[in-house]
Structure 1
Amino acid sequence: MGMYRSLCLYGWFFLFIMRGSVSGQNNPGGTIVLYNQVFSTAGNDPDMILPASGARFTESGLLLNGKGALARLNKYYALAARLVRYRVRFSADAVAVFQSDQQDFKAQVDMAHKSIGIDTKPQTGKTVAFLNPKHDYLVEVHRDYQTAMLKLVDLHTGDTDSVTATMDGQGGVRAGAAGPGFFVGLQHDYYCFGLAEGSGIWIQQLMVLSKACNVKLLLYGDSITEPEGYFPTSVFSASWTQLIRQQIPGTVITSGRGGTTINELLMRIKNELPFVKARYVMVTIGTNGGNTEENLGALVEYIRSQGAIPILNNIPANESGSQVPVNAVIEKVRQRYKIKGARFDHATSLAFDGAVVDKTTMWHEDYDFGQIYHHPNKKGSRLMYLQTLTDIPEIYE
């Protein structure tokens, strides 16, 4: 039956052999359950959005038997290190899909051809000889920053296999691209699962987990806090979020989502922070609008309500100069709540005053509608990291 559990665990195996609840207070960096639902005939789950037809609850779990039918977990997540785990039984002819609602990421389990794969160009996949329609399986879809993994575990034999694909960003766009890149997808927003071909699949349990809990620092933001989407893999370790992760004594995890505003941030932080728990929560938001004093105040107050210390950063400089009025509002809110923040606009501007962007600190995005400079490159990331050393040194203690 559906319930949230504050379990902080070192490995997935313990979820199936332990009884009762386990406190996460003494297990920094471990795995924690964000959502857990066992499906049966007992009733519907209000967090599940089912297709109009081809889905029903049975004693064997949530049955999807309509071709192309997709179910969606209506819980919004953006943690860069997380996984979703399904306990599933497949019909002998089933082709099951596990994807994001934005379709930027899609994985398949093909019982008929005994194979698993991730949609990339070319396809990332392999044959899995132990697939058996009489067995139950754990299907896990992992995201670990730029890397995605589809893992399959046979619950009757213990056999396991997996496929992995790593996102390789282009850096900039067209004239500014550092390379061709390799697109995998970042599993944006909402988890979906369904039946592409065959008679049916039975989802017996669905669980979402963070790969870290009781962390020192949790970073929130838009695409600026999601460099795994555009940084080339060869230099991803030099992105600003990773530089911070490398230097802080303690566990750090990020939750960035490109194209979003503070409104979406407020949605997802309520699905993540109460379970993950953090000493500091660093927010870099406002590139895409939405930063009113009311919204920022609500965010700061929510972070404090969860026992964390809020840090509200200035957004970096960009080609249009839109950071200037946004950062004025951010500064006003910082003063109101007496909180700190890193002046990322100073680090990425020509005169280090937050006014005019230093284009050498940004990836060059060459679009028909204009030339964009607002995603920090390796140089910009280094300067942003150095800015945190002077503006918020306590996070490194």
Structure 2
Amino acid sequence: MPLARKLWLLACLLCWHPATGQQSAGATVVLYNQVFDTAGQYPELVWPDARYTANGIQMRVKGQLARLNKYYSLATRLVRYRVRFSADARAVFQSDQGDFKAFVDMTRKTISIQTNPVTRKTVPFLDPGHDYLVEVHRNYQTVMLRLTDLYTGAADSIAATTDGTGGVRAGAVGPGFFAGLQHDYYCFGLAEGSEICVQQMTVLSNECDLLLLIYGDSITEPEGYFPRADFAHSWTQLIRGQAHGKVMASGRGGTTINELLDRIKNELPFIKAKYVMVTIGTNGGNTEQNLSALVEYIKLQGAIPILNNIPANESGSQVPVNALIEKVRQRYRIKGARFDKATSVGFDGAVVDKTTMWHEDYDFGQIYHHPNAKGSRLMFLQTLTDIPEIYE
């Protein structure tokens, strides 16, 4: 068997830890895999100027992006491409929202992540006659770009870690550093040069057969705003540290139950979980019908649904939302954590305790609805009494 083929097969079996560049000991599972080896149709790939050949997808138009039309928000995952680059190519691998961009630059022989300042490394082994494995990893606050030569086995990587500001403006606790959370769809394209040829694309989760999968919006995605030094004290990480099994989060800031219903179908059936915990409704969109559909979908996948109350906030909008959540919990006889109780004055779920939230100072108002370290600690403690079975 040719060396290139052996290396490709080995790479398909291995998963590198995003923060360290080392092989992960955890199990992985394929969420999507496609070899672009025919001129056939790939409806899941959105691209305005498709050119499919027996050797893969040829991209020759600068500035255009191909997008995999599958929505992922798992906090630990990767996408893997098999690519050949022209000698003058500068390829980009990014999120469709543009919050994350990584580049392979053949002319300058560098790999980079578009942070401020740019995270860049020289890779002298780049050769336009070789095929490469390009991997983009996310592990909560850390992202990594890894490049492997499938002809020689040479490899190198770069990584960057988000350092959140906590609050905003007057409430910020530091200047912050943003590495990108890869929202929401994987994209790739030719930024400069003549051509790239993408032969295969694979999306993987870094873990499968979970004890607990945690879904939600920005409250379940503290990696976007928590300071790096305090991230271990965020509520999702406190649960991960206490549970006797594998736990993963899938949070996405700004989303509603509608987006959650979309992405859970691309994740849960593949990775599997005993419990699925949901904290959704901060951004509106909750209806009894939608909440019921979500609970029923989770049960259909063989998991036990947990539907949490959303935390208290400055406007008090959590009160009617949580009344609806409680109604659905009663209907299906399922459990949930009273996060509103943990983050409210007097622990009654009504008025937000501002000391439990990051202070977000905007021109339009003062916002208190993202739990800080204190709020996260109290939310975690609430799970110990409301849903102790997740720690058995």
Q: Which residue of 1 aligns with 2:148?
A: 153
What SS does structure 2 have at the residue aligned with 1:13? Answer: helix
Aligned residue runs from structure 1 range 1-397, under 5 A: 13=10, 15=12, 29-51=26-48, 53=49, 55-397=50-392
Take 1:126 and 1:44, find their aligned partners in 2: how far apart are those partners?
37
Residues 1:303 and 1:167: Cα distance change in structure 2 (over 3 Å)? same
What SS does structure 1 have at the residue aligned with 2:129? Answer: coil
Residues 1:250 and 1:203: Cα distance change in structure 2 (over 3 Å)? same
What SS does structure 1 have at the residue aligned with 2:160? Answer: strand
Instruction: In structure 1, give the amino acid aligned to 2:320.
Output: P
What SS does structure 1 have at the residue aligned with 2:51? Answer: strand
Deviates more, 1:38-47 or 1:332-341: 38-47
Using the TM superposition, give the Cα deviation of residue 184 of structure 1 relative to its aligned residue in structure 2, in angstroms.
1.1
Instruction: In structure 2, give the amino acid aligned to 1:240.
Output: W
Using the TM superposition, give the Cα deviation of residue 16 of structure 1 relative to its aligned residue in structure 2, in angstroms.
6.2
Using the TM superposition, give the Cα deviation of residue 41 of structure 1 relative to its aligned residue in structure 2, in angstroms.
2.4
Instruction: In structure 2, give the amino acid aligned to 1:15.
Output: C
Is the Cα–Cα contact under 8 Å of residues 106 and 119 in structure 1 kept in the other structure? yes
Moved >3 Å (runs of 4+): none
Using the TM superposition, give the Cα deviation of residue 12 of structure 1 relative to its aligned residue in structure 2, in angstroms.
7.8
What SS does structure 2 have at the residue aligned with 1:351? Answer: helix
Using the TM superposition, give the Cα deviation of residue 60 of structure 1 relative to its aligned residue in structure 2, in angstroms.
1.1
Residues 1:32 and 1:16: Cα distance change in structure 2 (over 3 Å)? closer
Deviates more, 1:39-48 or 1:312-321: 39-48
Take 2:51 and 2:39, find their aligned partners in 1: how far apart are those partners?
12
Instruction: In structure 2, give the amino acid aligned to 1:236.
Output: F
Using the TM superposition, give the Cα deviation of residue 378 of structure 1 relative to its aligned residue in structure 2, in angstroms.
0.3
Take 2:215 and 2:305, find their aligned partners in 1: how far apart are those partners?
11
Take 1:29 and 1:389, find their aligned partners in 2: how far apart are those partners?
26
Q: Which residue of 2 aligns with 1:5?
A: none
Take 2:99 and 2:118, find their aligned partners in 1: how far apart are those partners?
14
Instruction: In structure 1, give the amino acid aligned to 2:30.
Output: V
- Alignment root-mean-square deviation, CA: 1.3
Take 2:220 and 2:353, find their aligned partners in 1: how far apart are those partners?
19
Take 2:311 and 2:26, find their aligned partners in 1: how far apart are those partners?
29
What SS does structure 2 have at the residue aligned with 1:316? Answer: coil
Instruction: In structure 1, give the amino acid aligned to 2:46.
Output: I
TM-score (norm 2): 0.94
Q: Which runs of 5+ in 1 are unaligned?
A: 1-10, 18-27
Is the Cα–Cα contact under 8 Å of residues 147 and 165 in structure 1 kept in the other structure? yes
Q: Deviations over 1:292-335 (max 9, x none)?
A: 00000000000000000000000000000000000000000000
What SS does structure 1 have at the residue aligned with 2:194? Answer: coil
Identical aligned residues as a percent: 75
Using the TM superposition, give the Cα deviation of residue 44 of structure 1 relative to its aligned residue in structure 2, in angstroms.
1.8
Instruction: In structure 1, give the amino acid aligned to 2:377.
Output: R
Instruction: In structure 2, give the amino acid aligned to 1:34.
Output: L
Is the Cα–Cα contact under 8 Å of residues 261 and 289 in structure 1 kept in the other structure? yes
Q: State the number of aligned residues.
A: 375
Instruction: In structure 1, give the amino acid aligned to 2:76.
Output: A
Is the Cα–Cα contact under 8 Å of residues 225 and 255 in structure 1 kept in the other structure? yes
Using the TM superposition, give the Cα deviation of residue 29 of structure 1 relative to its aligned residue in structure 2, in angstroms.
4.5
Take 2:142 and 2:281, find their aligned partners in 1: how far apart are those partners?
27
Q: Deviations over 1:269-312 (max 9, x none)?
A: 00000001000000000000011000000000000000000000
Q: Deviations over 1:40-76 (max 9, x none)?
A: 224021100012x3x4001110010001111000000
Residues 1:12 and 1:311: Cα distance change in structure 2 (over 3 Å)? farther
Q: Deviations over 1:16-57 (max 9, x none)?
A: 69xxxxxxxxxx941100000000224021100012x3x400
Take 1:14 and 1:164, find their aligned partners in 2: how far apart are those partners?
19
TM-score (norm 1): 0.93
Using the TM superposition, give the Cα deviation of residue 135 of structure 1 relative to its aligned residue in structure 2, in angstroms.
0.3
Take 1:217 and 1:182, find their aligned partners in 2: how far apart are those partners?
29
Q: Deviations over 1:123-170 (max 9, x none)?
A: 001110000000000000000000000000000000000000000100
Is the Cα–Cα contact under 8 Å of residues 86 and 207 in structure 1 kept in the other structure? yes
Q: Which runs of 5+ in 2 are unaligned?
A: 1-7, 15-24
